[in-house]
Structure 1
Protein backbone atom coordinates (compact mmCIF):
# COMPACT_ATOMS: atom_id res chain seq x y z
CA UNK A 1 0.00 0.00 0.00
CA UNK A 2 1.13 3.55 -0.60
CA UNK A 3 1.47 6.10 2.18
CA UNK A 4 1.31 9.88 1.69
CA UNK A 5 3.61 11.73 4.10
CA UNK A 6 3.22 15.51 4.11
CA UNK A 7 6.27 17.69 4.90
CA UNK A 8 5.58 21.34 4.22
CA UNK A 9 4.70 21.80 0.56
CA UNK A 10 6.18 18.39 -0.37
CA UNK A 11 4.30 15.11 -0.07
CA UNK A 12 6.39 11.94 -0.10
CA UNK A 13 4.85 8.75 -1.46
CA UNK A 14 6.12 5.59 0.22
CA UNK A 15 5.33 2.01 -0.75
CA UNK A 16 3.56 0.56 -3.77
CA UNK A 17 1.02 2.05 -6.14
CA UNK A 18 -0.75 -0.60 -8.20
CA UNK A 19 -4.25 -1.07 -9.54
CA UNK A 20 -5.33 -2.56 -6.21
CA UNK A 21 -4.15 0.50 -4.26
CA UNK A 22 -5.58 2.91 -6.85
CA UNK A 23 -8.99 1.28 -6.45
CA UNK A 24 -8.82 1.74 -2.68
CA UNK A 25 -7.59 5.34 -2.89
CA UNK A 26 -9.72 6.66 -5.74
CA UNK A 27 -12.69 7.96 -3.72
CA UNK A 28 -10.38 9.85 -1.33
CA UNK A 29 -7.94 11.22 -3.92
CA UNK A 30 -8.85 14.83 -3.07
CA UNK A 31 -7.78 14.43 0.55
CA UNK A 32 -4.56 12.40 0.30
CA UNK A 33 -2.33 15.46 0.72
CA UNK A 34 -2.54 19.17 1.49
CA UNK A 35 -4.04 21.61 -1.01
CA UNK A 36 -0.81 23.63 -0.58
CA UNK A 37 1.34 20.75 -1.84
CA UNK A 38 3.59 21.72 -4.75
CA UNK A 39 5.67 18.54 -5.12
CA UNK A 40 4.89 14.85 -4.96
CA UNK A 41 8.19 13.12 -4.25
CA UNK A 42 8.27 9.62 -5.69
CA UNK A 43 11.74 8.65 -4.41
CA UNK A 44 10.35 6.14 -1.89
CA UNK A 45 7.73 4.71 -4.22
CA UNK A 46 8.96 1.12 -4.54
CA UNK A 47 6.67 0.09 -7.39
CA UNK A 48 4.03 1.50 -9.71
CA UNK A 49 2.10 -0.10 -12.52
CA UNK A 50 0.32 1.73 -15.33
CA UNK A 51 -2.76 2.25 -13.12
CA UNK A 52 -0.49 3.92 -10.56
CA UNK A 53 0.94 6.23 -13.22
CA UNK A 54 -2.56 7.13 -14.40
CA UNK A 55 -3.53 7.84 -10.79
CA UNK A 56 -0.54 10.17 -10.36
CA UNK A 57 -1.57 12.07 -13.49
CA UNK A 58 -5.14 12.33 -12.17
CA UNK A 59 -3.75 13.83 -8.95
CA UNK A 60 -1.82 16.42 -10.98
CA UNK A 61 -4.91 17.35 -12.99
CA UNK A 62 -7.26 17.70 -10.02
CA UNK A 63 -4.87 19.69 -7.82
CA UNK A 64 -5.82 23.38 -7.49
CA UNK A 65 -2.22 24.65 -7.92
CA UNK A 66 0.60 23.41 -10.18
CA UNK A 67 1.89 20.08 -8.86
CA UNK A 68 5.28 18.61 -9.77
CA UNK A 69 6.04 14.89 -9.76
CA UNK A 70 9.69 14.35 -8.87
CA UNK A 71 12.38 11.81 -7.99
CA UNK A 72 10.93 8.74 -9.72
CA UNK A 73 12.55 5.38 -9.12
CA UNK A 74 14.28 3.59 -11.99
CA UNK A 75 11.26 1.29 -12.38
CA UNK A 76 8.86 4.23 -12.58
CA UNK A 77 11.19 6.11 -14.93
CA UNK A 78 10.91 3.19 -17.36
CA UNK A 79 7.12 3.53 -17.37
CA UNK A 80 7.42 7.29 -17.87
CA UNK A 81 9.60 6.69 -20.93
CA UNK A 82 7.45 3.81 -22.21
CA UNK A 83 4.28 5.92 -22.17
CA UNK A 84 6.08 9.12 -23.29
CA UNK A 85 4.99 11.04 -20.18
CA UNK A 86 8.15 13.06 -19.59
CA UNK A 87 6.31 16.37 -19.76
CA UNK A 88 4.38 15.50 -16.58
CA UNK A 89 7.49 14.78 -14.52
CA UNK A 90 10.44 16.96 -13.55
CA UNK A 91 13.71 16.33 -15.38
CA UNK A 92 15.11 14.45 -12.40
CA UNK A 93 12.08 12.16 -12.38
CA UNK A 94 12.88 10.62 -15.74
CA UNK A 95 16.66 10.94 -15.88
CA UNK A 96 18.20 7.61 -16.75
CA UNK A 97 20.79 6.29 -14.31
Structure 2
Protein backbone atom coordinates (compact mmCIF):
# COMPACT_ATOMS: atom_id res chain seq x y z
CA UNK A 1 0.00 0.00 0.00
CA UNK A 2 2.77 2.44 0.89
CA UNK A 3 4.45 2.04 -2.51
CA UNK A 4 1.22 2.77 -4.38
CA UNK A 5 0.33 5.74 -2.15
CA UNK A 6 3.88 7.09 -2.51
CA UNK A 7 3.58 6.90 -6.30
CA UNK A 8 0.25 8.76 -6.26
CA UNK A 9 1.58 11.38 -3.82
CA UNK A 10 4.43 12.18 -6.23
CA UNK A 11 1.95 12.33 -9.14
CA UNK A 12 -0.16 14.88 -7.23
CA UNK A 13 2.50 17.00 -5.54
CA UNK A 14 5.72 16.46 -7.51
CA UNK A 15 8.87 14.39 -7.17
CA UNK A 16 10.14 16.40 -4.19
CA UNK A 17 7.18 15.30 -2.03
CA UNK A 18 7.90 12.40 0.33
CA UNK A 19 5.50 9.99 1.97
CA UNK A 20 6.58 9.68 5.61
CA UNK A 21 3.99 7.10 6.63
CA UNK A 22 0.54 5.67 5.94
CA UNK A 23 -1.72 5.19 8.98
CA UNK A 24 -4.93 3.12 8.71
CA UNK A 25 -8.02 4.98 9.95
CA UNK A 26 -11.00 3.40 11.68
CA UNK A 27 -13.50 2.01 9.20
CA UNK A 28 -17.12 1.04 9.09
CA UNK A 29 -19.14 -1.62 7.28
CA UNK A 30 -18.44 -0.28 3.76
CA UNK A 31 -15.96 -1.69 1.25
CA UNK A 32 -13.85 1.48 1.52
CA UNK A 33 -10.65 1.70 3.55
CA UNK A 34 -9.23 5.04 4.68
CA UNK A 35 -5.65 5.99 5.53
CA UNK A 36 -3.90 9.16 6.66
CA UNK A 37 -0.82 9.81 4.54
CA UNK A 38 1.79 11.92 6.34
CA UNK A 39 3.71 14.00 3.80
CA UNK A 40 6.72 16.30 3.64
CA UNK A 41 8.52 18.38 1.04
CA UNK A 42 7.41 20.57 -1.81
CA UNK A 43 3.98 22.17 -1.86
CA UNK A 44 2.21 19.17 -0.33
CA UNK A 45 0.02 19.50 2.75
CA UNK A 46 1.35 17.87 5.92
CA UNK A 47 -1.22 15.11 5.59
CA UNK A 48 -3.97 13.84 3.31
CA UNK A 49 -6.69 11.24 3.61
CA UNK A 50 -6.48 8.36 1.13
CA UNK A 51 -9.54 6.27 0.26
CA UNK A 52 -9.15 2.76 -1.14
CA UNK A 53 -12.25 1.30 -2.76
CA UNK A 54 -12.04 -2.46 -3.25
CA UNK A 55 -13.22 -3.88 -6.56
CA UNK A 56 -12.75 -2.78 -10.14
CA UNK A 57 -16.29 -1.63 -10.97
CA UNK A 58 -17.99 1.54 -9.86
CA UNK A 59 -20.35 0.53 -7.06
CA UNK A 60 -24.09 1.04 -6.94
CA UNK A 61 -23.85 1.87 -3.27
CA UNK A 62 -27.30 3.29 -2.67
CA UNK A 63 -30.88 2.57 -3.64
CA UNK A 64 -31.08 5.90 -5.46
CA UNK A 65 -28.28 4.94 -7.84
CA UNK A 66 -29.91 1.58 -8.57
CA UNK A 67 -32.85 3.43 -10.20
CA UNK A 68 -30.75 4.53 -13.18
CA UNK A 69 -30.63 2.31 -16.28
CA UNK A 70 -26.97 3.14 -16.92
CA UNK A 71 -24.27 2.67 -14.30
CA UNK A 72 -22.47 5.82 -13.13
CA UNK A 73 -19.49 6.97 -15.20
CA UNK A 74 -17.64 8.17 -12.13
CA UNK A 75 -17.81 7.69 -8.40
CA UNK A 76 -20.85 9.63 -7.14
CA UNK A 77 -18.84 11.57 -4.55
CA UNK A 78 -16.75 13.11 -7.36
CA UNK A 79 -19.87 14.49 -9.02
CA UNK A 80 -21.19 15.79 -5.69
CA UNK A 81 -17.82 17.35 -4.81
CA UNK A 82 -17.72 19.20 -8.14
CA UNK A 83 -21.31 20.44 -7.69
CA UNK A 84 -20.80 21.68 -4.13
CA UNK A 85 -17.55 23.40 -5.08
CA UNK A 86 -19.22 25.20 -8.00
CA UNK A 87 -21.98 26.62 -5.81
CA UNK A 88 -19.50 27.91 -3.26
CA UNK A 89 -19.76 25.29 -0.53
CA UNK A 90 -16.47 24.73 1.28
CA UNK A 91 -15.37 21.16 0.64
CA UNK A 92 -12.08 19.37 1.36
CA UNK A 93 -9.50 19.59 -1.41
CA UNK A 94 -9.52 16.67 -3.82
CA UNK A 95 -5.96 16.11 -5.01
CA UNK A 96 -6.52 13.20 -7.38
CA UNK A 97 -8.36 9.98 -8.06
CA UNK A 98 -7.60 6.80 -9.93
CA UNK A 99 -10.09 4.09 -10.83
CA UNK A 100 -7.89 1.79 -12.88
CA UNK A 101 -5.88 0.30 -10.01
Using CA pairs under 8 Å that are at least 6 residues apart, name the structure with larger relative contact order, 1 or 2.
1
The two structures have a TM-score, normalised by structure 2, of 0.29
Q: Which has the higher strand share?
A: 1
Q: Which has the higher helix share?
A: 1
The two structures have a TM-score, normalised by structure 1, of 0.30
Q: Which has more radius of gyration?
A: 2
